[in-house]
Amino acid sequence: MKITIEQLLQNIKDFKAGTKIELTGTIYTARDQAHKRLVELLSSGKQLPIQLKDACIYYCGPCPNAPDKIIGSCGPTTSSRMDVYTPKMLDNGVKILIGKGKRSKEVFDSIQKNKSIYLLATGGVGALIAEKVKSFKLIAFEDLGPEAIYEIKIENFPLIVGIDCNGNSLFGRIED
C-alpha cells in the first residue's frame, strides 16, 4: 500500500502489525549519539534542531554518496540501541520510528501510550533502499559524521508495521 507520512499519521490506528507499506515523505535519520544529544537538549530545555511533533525518525547512519547518487547505502541499524532514549522522544511528539529488530517492553509500552508506530526496514539492502531517497541534507550534529541528523525525502520506501499503536507486534509477546 502506497501512503504518505501525513496519511499514516491521520490513520495511524488503522495500521496493524504485519501491514506492508511504501512510505513517501520527509524523515530524519538519527542513531544513538544523535538521540543522546536530543534527549540532553530536551532535559535542559534548549531548542532542538528538528521539530519532534509528528516526526518520523529512521535509525540509520547513511554512507557517503557516490558521485552519481543522492545518498550512499542507508539501511537500518539495530533499533534497540535507541531504546534508552525512545520513550522520551515519543513523549515529546515523535510518532513514527523506523529501524530493525525487537524493542524493549518500555518502548513497546511507550508506543501504545503515545499512539505511535514502529516500522521495520529490511536490513542488508541499504543500497536498494537508497534508491528510494529523493533528497538528503545535513540538519544537525555534523561532528557525528554518519550519526548526524539528516533530513531525507523518501518515495515509496518499503516498510512493514512491526509494532502498531494498538498493542500488536510481529515479535510476539514483548517482555523485559
**Quick check: is 33 catalytic?**
no
Spatial distance between the Cα atoms of 34 and 11, rounded to a whole number of angstroms: 29
Q: Which of 3, 34, 35, 56 is catalytic?
A: 35
Tell which residue, 158, 99, 152, has the closest CA to residue 128. 158
Tell which residue, 114, 109, 115, 27, has the closest CA to residue 76. 27
Assign 3-state DSSP to the chain and report helix, strand, coil percentages, each to 5: 30, 30, 40
Joined grid coordinates for residue 78: 539495530
Q: What are phi and psi of 173, to 5 degrees?
A: -70, 130
Spatial distance between the Cα atoms of 52 and 92, rounded to a whole number of angstroms: 6
| Pairing outcome for strands 149-163 and 117-120 | antiparallel
Which run of H or of E encompasses 150? strand 149-163
Catalytic residues: 35
